[in-house]
Structure 1
Amino acid sequence: MAGDLARRRCRTWYAMLLRLYPRPFRERFGEGMAQTFHDLCREHKDAGRGLFVFVVWAFCETFGGIVMENIMRMNQMGKTMLRVALAALALLMVPLVASRVVEGWNWPAGAFVRVYILFFATGMAYALIARKMGAWTYKAGVGLALFGGFALGWSTMVQTADSGHPERLWYLSALAVGVVGALLARLKARGLALTLFAMAATLALIAVMLPSGAPPDMARRMAIGHGVFVVLFIASGLLFRQASLARLK
């Protein structure tokens, strides 16, 4: 009796799993797959073999088929989002593993969520922006700007989490300037050049006006780091300016 109940539950769960297939595939093959699963469960019962290993194998194989079928039916945007999401997940493994092996690395769960969003947003921004432009200077400017923005966001969150000084989140206002400027510029090279110069100026102003509250050695390292970010944003702005001038020729 208990075995019959377990088989019914497995068939119910398998039917629910099949609903994850794209609708055209499910309407064509779903009923046959469910019947095959039912028949194999009955064969295992008649042979006196347990269901656990078979059910795990069947569910894993079916789930793999679901993933592949959905990928094949995705449009280009969906495939891009999937690739970026998987790449962001792979990169997230670095801080996740480090939190287990590095002493004192005690991030809360929310920090990992924010880092994943940062990875994903950076990857999607580059994928969507750079592929529309043919000029190498524009693509290089996008890559440099996103790298600088990502590094600034990462370092700011790490320093805020480690030091407990939320006022350091003010450095993220430079990224806000970048987002607003990019929207106003409609991703045109000339407007993006001005945006990157504004980001560099904003970051330099915050670094000068906001007290670090850190020991002298650490404060000096932070100043050098902020200087590097300013240089990155200026270099990106110059690349966008070059791309803008090239279009005018």
Structure 2
Amino acid sequence: MTLTKSILRVALATGLLLLIPLVAMQFTHEVNWTFSDFVFAAVMLFGTGLTYVLIARKWNNLTYKLAVGVGVVAGLMLMWANAAVGLVGSEDNPANLLYLGVLAVALIGAFAARFKPLGMSNAMFAASFTYVMVTAVALFIWTPTGAAAEPQVRLVNVLVANGAFAAIWAVSGWLFRRASTIGSNLNQRLA
């Protein structure tokens, strides 16, 4: 499939996914998206799909493509959850900004690895480790004071949710590691 067709498919999928809240808004008051919510969702969904298309086409390896999918979905979930409800306390908690470091580690690691499976594995494991460290810092070291303080944060809920998110990054790393051991693909595509 050509790159243009892949991008058109991503755009179509983005549009179809955005129809879900648009239709839901017609039937319930519990879904109340603003124009900016739709723009944010469109950028996030299209950006995630485009990232998958551009990276997954680097190798003709199903495990590699699956690893890319898990990694970009982990990034999407990180950004979406952080913007919607926050990962530590509410979305207004300034400690949530620390999670941008996880994305930075994943992206910088991916570019440094030139998207090769073994290097991508290391980048995803580093992102998982960074996720755990950011959660520890946000919960135990940098606790906001004053108006940003949130005494009602349930520690177990935060640890379980953030542990699950860190595990998704680790699964991506594991899949990239498997893709690297399956054998190097001599038919590597040049994008």
Check the 8 A contact 1:156/1:172 in 2, yes or no: no
Q: Provide the aligned length of Structure 1 versus Structure 2.
A: 172
Residue of structure 1 equivalent to 2:39: 113
Q: Residue type of the partner of 1:208?
A: A
Task: State the Cα distance separating 1:223 from its structure 2 match.
Answer: 1.8
1:234 aligned counterpart, secondary structure: helix
Q: Residue type of the partner of 1:215?
A: Q
Match of 2:57 among 131, 134, 151: 131
Check the 8 A contact 2:124/2:173 in 1, yes or no: yes
Choose between structure 1 and 2: higher helix proportion: 1
- CA–CA separation in structure 2 for the residues paired with 1:102 and 1:198: 41
Residue of structure 2 equivalent to 1:8: none
Distance 1:82 1:206, change over 3 A: same
* 1:220 matches 2:146: no
- CA–CA separation in structure 2 for the residues paired with 1:241 and 1:188: 10
- CA–CA separation in structure 2 for the residues paired with 1:112 and 1:167: 25
Task: State the Cα distance separating 1:112 from its structure 2 match.
Answer: 2.5
Task: State the Cα distance separating 1:205 from its structure 2 match.
Answer: 0.7
Residue of structure 2 equivalent to 1:23: none
Q: Which has the larger radius of gyration?
A: 1
- CA–CA separation in structure 2 for the residues paired with 1:178 and 1:238: 14
* 1:151 matches 2:77: yes
Check the 8 A contact 2:83/2:91 in 1, yes or no: no
Task: State the Cα distance separating 1:149 from its structure 2 match.
Answer: 1.5
Match of 2:124 among 185, 196, 212: 196
- CA–CA separation in structure 2 for the residues paired with 1:201 and 1:81: 32
Task: State the Cα distance separating 1:95 from its structure 2 match.
Answer: 3.6
Check the 8 A contact 2:21/2:33 in 1, yes or no: no
1:186 aligned counterpart, secondary structure: coil
- CA–CA separation in structure 1 for the residues paired with 2:7 and 2:182: 31
1:210 aligned counterpart, secondary structure: helix
Distance 1:163 1:232, change over 3 A: closer
Q: What is the RMSD of the two structures over their aligned residues, measured on CA atoms? A: 2.5
Which runs of 5 or more residues in structure 1 are unaligned?
Answer: 1-74
Higher relative contact order (CA 8 A, sep 6+): 2
Q: Could you report, residue by residue, the CA deviation over 1:100-124 in whole angstroms, capped at 9, with x for unpaired residues?
A: 6253x55543332222111011111
Task: State the Cα distance separating 1:226 from its structure 2 match.
Answer: 0.9
Q: Residue type of the partner of 2:120?
A: L
Residue of structure 2 equivalent to 1:142: 68
- CA–CA separation in structure 2 for the residues paired with 1:98 and 1:157: 21
Distance 1:145 1:98, change over 3 A: same
* 1:236 matches 2:172: yes
TM-score (norm 1): 0.61
Distance 1:231 1:156, change over 3 A: same
Match of 1:92 among 5, 18, 23: 18
Which runs of 5 or more residues in structure 2 are unaligned?
Answer: 144-149, 186-191
Q: Could you report, residue by residue, the CA deviation over 1:166-215 in whole angstroms, capped at 9, with x for unpaired residues?
A: 43132132112111111111110011011001100111011111137362
